[in-house]
């Protein structure tokens, strides 16, 4: 269809550019001018003098929050809400910086360029539309025929024009930023080879811990002290915070499970009465990934789906609908659409088990009451008044892990912040599992483990180093034996070591007995067939390896995939270049953040 190689290359690069710019738009949005009147709406911030209005920030935040809620399938907790807030701010700042840079560089787009892009590079959402596909592939003829019709909606044409007027300048900016990026064929080949070349080796391992007895080495107390002092950083003890945690769980109970089962039974009753499965799935299913598809799970094979759903689907006949099936996500109503050999196509409606509104309202009331009592009379009184239990935890500086909550940065930042005093009560924190209060009971500064406590660990390390010294001599003798034309298995027998053979592996695989990404793996790929190497010191052991087999990377297949690989690497390099460029642009920008003045702090 495109006869000129030069023109074909330009279009390929345009496709790559637009695909990459799609990431820019996804991450930073588009056409957010921030031009609303600060007097009318208030300002959330400024970027080089360009206003981020309250209205624009709120719209961006709500859009991102809606996406996050839809993906999660439930309300966002405090931590997730704060992450979305920061994402909205960064998106707007990045977008304004890009708009300013487009203006500074005078990058614009002509009507002719829009027409060319429209003809050669359709938007992704049109390429994925079944109307323009033949046999699952985009069909340019159908695309051109449709837009040649006089019946095309003018609003659609305006939407497409707006798309290209937004995307093309960004594609040109991206080309300028990444203009120096060049990916030679040799780099592509080496990357492909490293991923696909395989070897198999025979090997023996000399482990000092096993080969040298403790009685063969002597360690003086002075050596232990010297090792401790020379490696004192290894014995650093981070600061800790002792906190008391009180939790109000919103985990559903038996009554909630019964209510979900009742709802699932009612929906199944409607289905058995002739209701449309897809319509009820869109209306009631709480699986965000499939609800909009009418519950469609696609084609399933054994071992690819939840066992409960899978068993139900394979037990049905085409068109049949299961009883409600319980999994860890809730109750599923499964419909078998069709069966083909060892796979089935199925749909489902998911009814999650959730706490009922009345119970949650009572729980919220208790949370409010606890907070009021704790702030006025102390946590002990609040715990006794509501009959709840608290538990004591140790938080470690440098780790945001909280036992029972997992990763929870807000609690970590609060506990170790300089303004948090011993005895202080935290704000109430909300997650999908409930509400939490913390009280700081003690904080211990960072320090070093005393020698007396560390002595056993120090001794083990020093003894191991002495054993390695002895084993190094044994390894040297093995090397001499191998040079005297003894085989690897003969040497293994002479030194009472185990002769082993690996499976086929690539440079990136974990290999049992050899490890991953270490000197042994690297050496294996540099050997000729039957060549022996060693001793190789790795992971406190000594290895001798012999190349038993090599499977070369398929050069012909590489040639077939080369340009696709080049395009993928180009996008990755452009992304890196753009990240660096934008970070530098942001460092130089005058960014004023008024959010803490505009919004009431979260609590």
What residues does each domain of the chain span? Answer: 5-179+564-598, 198-235+453-551, 239-251+357-445, 254-351
Tokens at 488, concatenated: 């690897």
Structural contact between residues 329 and 350, judged by C-beta atoms closer than 8 angstroms: yes
DSSP 326: E
Q: Which fold has domain 254-351?
A: Chitinase A; domain 3 (3.10.50)
Minimal CA–CA distance to 243: which of 110, 441, 99? Answer: 441
What does each C-alpha distance from 112 to 13, 122, 161 come to in angstroms?
A: 18, 15, 11
8 A C-beta contact, residue 310 and residue 304: yes
Confidence of residue 297 (pLDDT cuts 50, 70, 90): confident
pLDDT tens across 457-511, in order?
999 899 998 899 899 999 999 999 999 888 999 999 999 999 999 999 999 999 9
Joined together, the tokens standing for residue 14 give 């345009």
Amino acid 35: pLDDT: 38
Q: How far is Cα 249 from Cα 437, in angstroms, rounded to an integer?
A: 12
The pLDDT assigned to 568 comes to: 87
In the numeric block, the tokens 């912040």 are attached to: 417
Instruction: Read off the pLDDT of each residue in 223-239 and give the average, rounded to a whole number.
Output: 91
pLDDT tens, residue by residue, 191-211: 999 999 999 999 999 999 888
Residue 23 predicted with pLDDT over 60: no
Q: What is the predicted pLDDT for the residue at 73? A: 67
Average pLDDT on 21-36 reads: 40
For position 12, what pLDDT does the model report? 32
Residue-level pLDDT at 335: 92
Give the residue, 135 or 236, on which the prediction is more confident.
236
Instruction: List, for residues 87-110, the tens digit of each pLDDT value.
Output: 999 999 988 998 898 888 888 888
Could you give the 3-state DSSP secondary structure of residue 24?
helix
Provide CB contacts within 8 A for 206, sequence distance 6+.
471, 474, 475, 478, 495, 497, 535, 541, 542, 543, 544
Geometric angle at alpha carbon 420, from 416 and 423, rounded to 5°: 110
Specify the pLDDT at position 163. Answer: 84
Whether 307 shows a pLDDT value over 80: the answer reads yes
DSSP string, 430-472: EETTEEEEEEEEEEE--EE--HHHHHHHHHHHHHHHHHHHHHH
Max CA-CA distance within the chain? 94
Write down how long the chain is.
603
Q: What percent of the chain has pLDDT over 70?
A: 91
Distance, CA of 490 to CA of 499 (rounded, Å): 9
Contact between 113 and 106 (Cβ < 8 Å): no
pLDDT on residue 398: 85
Beta bridge partners of 199: 505, 550
User: In the predicted model, what is the mean pLDDT of residues 258-276?
Assistant: 91
How confident is the model over 12-29, as a mean pLDDT?
41
Report residue 491: phi and psi, to 5°. -65, -40
Rounded to two decimals, the pTM is 0.57
Q: With beta carbons less than 8 A apart as the criterion, state whether 441 and 242 touch.
A: yes
Preceding amide of 535 cis, omega within 30: yes
More confident: 556 or 128: 556
C-alpha–C-alpha distance, residues 499 and 203, integer Å: 6
pLDDT tens column, 417-435? 888 999 999 988 887 778 8
Residue 194, both tokens: 């490293």
Return the CATH number of the domain spanning residue range 5-179+564-598: 1.10.4030
Residue 530 Ramachandran class (φ > 0 left, ψ -120 to 50 alpha, else beta): left
- Using 50, 70 and 90 to split pLDDT, how confident is the model at 31? very low
Measured between alpha carbons, how far is 568 from 586 in angstroms, rounded to an integer?
Answer: 27
**Is 7 or 394 the better-scoring residue by pLDDT?**
394
> Are both 239-251+357-445 and 254-351 of the same fold?
yes
| pLDDT the model gives residue 442 | 93
Q: Which two tokens stand for residue 107?
A: 């990058």
| pLDDT value for 329 | 85
Q: What fold, for 239-251+357-445?
A: Chitinase A; domain 3 (3.10.50)
Secondary structure (DSSP) of 114-168: HHHHHHH---HHHHTSGGGEETTEE-HHHHHHHHHSTTS-HHHHHHHHHHHHHHH
In this predicted structure, what is the pLDDT of residue 187? 92
Q: What is the mean pLDDT of the chain?
A: 83
**How far apart are the C-alpha atoms of 34 and 37, rounded to whole Å?**
9
C-alpha to C-alpha distance for 281 and 351, rounded to whole angstroms: 10
Q: Which is higher by pLDDT, 129 or 11? A: 129
Under the banding of pLDDT at 50, 70 and 90, the label for residue 39 is very low
């Amino acid at each position: 269809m495109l006869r000129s190689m030069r023109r074909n290359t330009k279009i390929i690069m345009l496709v790559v550019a637009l695909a990459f710019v799609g990431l820019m738009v996804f991450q930073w949005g588009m056409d957010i001018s921030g031009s609303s009147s600060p007097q009318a709406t208030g300002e959330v911030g400024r970027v080089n003098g360009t206003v981020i209005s309250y209205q624009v920030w709120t719209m961006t935040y709500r859009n991102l929050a809606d996406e996050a809620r839809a993906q999660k399938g439930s309300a966002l907790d405090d931590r997730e809400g704060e992450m979305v807030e920061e994402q909205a701010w960064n998106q707007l700042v990045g977008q304004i910086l890009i708009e300013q840079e487009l203006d500074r560089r005078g990058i614009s787009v002509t009507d002719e360029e829009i027409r060319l892009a429209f003809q050669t590079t359709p938007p992704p959402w049109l390429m994925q539309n079944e109307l323009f596909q033949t046999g699952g592939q985009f069909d340019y003829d159908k695309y051109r025929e449709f837009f040649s019709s006089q019946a095309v909606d003018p609003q659609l044409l305006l939407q497409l024009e707006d798309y290209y007027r937004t995307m093309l300048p960004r594609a040109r900016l991206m080309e300028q930023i990444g203009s120096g990026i060049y990916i030679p064929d040799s780099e592509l080949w080496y990357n492909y080879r490293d991923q696909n070349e395989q070897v198999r080796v025979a090997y023996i391992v000399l482990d000092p811990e096993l080969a040298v007895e403790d009685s063969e080495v002597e360690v003086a107390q002075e050596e232990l002290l010297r090792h401790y002092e020379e490696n004192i950083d290894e014995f650093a003890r981070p600061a800790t915070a002792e906190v008391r945690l009180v939790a109000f769980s919103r985990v559903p109970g038996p009554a909630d499970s019964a209510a979900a089962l009742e709802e699932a039974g009612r929906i199944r009753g409607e289905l058995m009465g002739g209701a449309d499965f897809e319509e009820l799935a869109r209306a009631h299913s709480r699986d965000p990934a499939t609800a909009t598809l009418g519950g469609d799970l696609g084609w399933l094979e054994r071992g690819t789906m939840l066992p409960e759903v899978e068993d139900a689907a394979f037990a049905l006949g085409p068109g049949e609908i299961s009883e409600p099936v319980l999994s860890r996500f809730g109750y599923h109503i499964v419909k078998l659409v069709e069966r083909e050999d060892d796979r089935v196509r199925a749909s489902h409606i998911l009814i999650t088990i959730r706490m009922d509104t009345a119970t949650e309202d009572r729980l919220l009331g208790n949370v409010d009451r606890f907070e009021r009592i704790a702030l006025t009379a102390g946590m002990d009184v609040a715990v006794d008044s509501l009959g709840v239990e608290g538990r004591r935890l140790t938080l470690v500086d440098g780790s945001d892990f909280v036992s029972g909550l997992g990763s929870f940065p807000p609690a970590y930042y609060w506990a170790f912040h300089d303004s948090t005093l011993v005895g202080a009560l935290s704000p109430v924190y909300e997650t999908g599992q409930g509400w939490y209060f913390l009280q700081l009971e003690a904080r211990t500064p960072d320090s070093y483990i005393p020698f007396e406590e560390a002595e056993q660990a120090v001794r083990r390390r020093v003894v191991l180093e002495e054993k390695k010294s002895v084993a190094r001599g044994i390894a040297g003798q093995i090397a001499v034996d191998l040079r005297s034309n003894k085989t690897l298995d003969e040497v293994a027998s002479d030194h009472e070591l185990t002769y082993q053979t690996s499976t086929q592996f690539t440079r990136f695989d974990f290999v049992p007995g050899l490890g991953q990404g270490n000197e042994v793996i690297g050496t294996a790929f540099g050997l000729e067939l039957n060549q022996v190497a060693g001793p190789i010191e790795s992971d406190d052991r000594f290895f001798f390896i012999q190349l038993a087999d090599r499977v070369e990377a398929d050069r012909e297949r590489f040639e077939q995939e080369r340009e696709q690989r080049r395009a993928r690497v180009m996008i990755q390099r452009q992304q890196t270049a753009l990240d660096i460029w934008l970070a530098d642009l942001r460092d130089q920008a005058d960014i004023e953040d008024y959010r803490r003045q505009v919004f009431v702090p979260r609590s």
